[in-house]
Amino acid sequence: MERQVATWAAQRPVVIFSNSTCGISHSITTLLTDFGVNPAVYELDQMSRGREIEQALSRLGCTSIPAVFIGGELVGGSNEIMSLHLKQSLIPMLRRARAIWV
């Protein structure tokens, strides 16, 4: 399953593994879309193999949902995304991944 997660993560500049009922997942998705990002969002609670995917994400090093990949690399969860944003490193990272243009 880790291979499948890596394949999905590499298909778009930003990929979010989320839960549809999670407010934090929604907030991170909203933050990124407000920057102009069009992420691929996989709602684990609505996928037949969502639990397996969540376990694969844990084995890859992300212990929380949402799990955010930028440029095919696991960045982490909401704490890591917010930390990057507060350090003003998130937008440059998104630009390098070609998730945003301006």
Strand 67-70 relative to strand 14-18, pairing:
antiparallel
pLDDT tens by residue, 3-24: 999 999 999 999 999 999 999 9
| 52-88 pLDDT per residue, tens | 999 999 999 998 999 999 999 999 999 999 999 999 9
CATH topology of domain 1-97: Glutaredoxin (3.40.30)
pLDDT greater than 80 at residue 102: no
**CA dihedral for 67, 69, 70, 74, sign (positive or negative):** positive
Global pTM reads 0.95
> Is 90 exceeded by the pLDDT of residue 98?
yes
The contacts found for 23-32 with CB under 8 angstroms, 24 or more apart, are 24/66, 24/78, 25/65, 25/66, 25/78, 27/78, 28/66, 28/68, 28/78, 28/81, 29/66, 31/81, 31/85, 32/68, 32/81, 32/94, 32/99
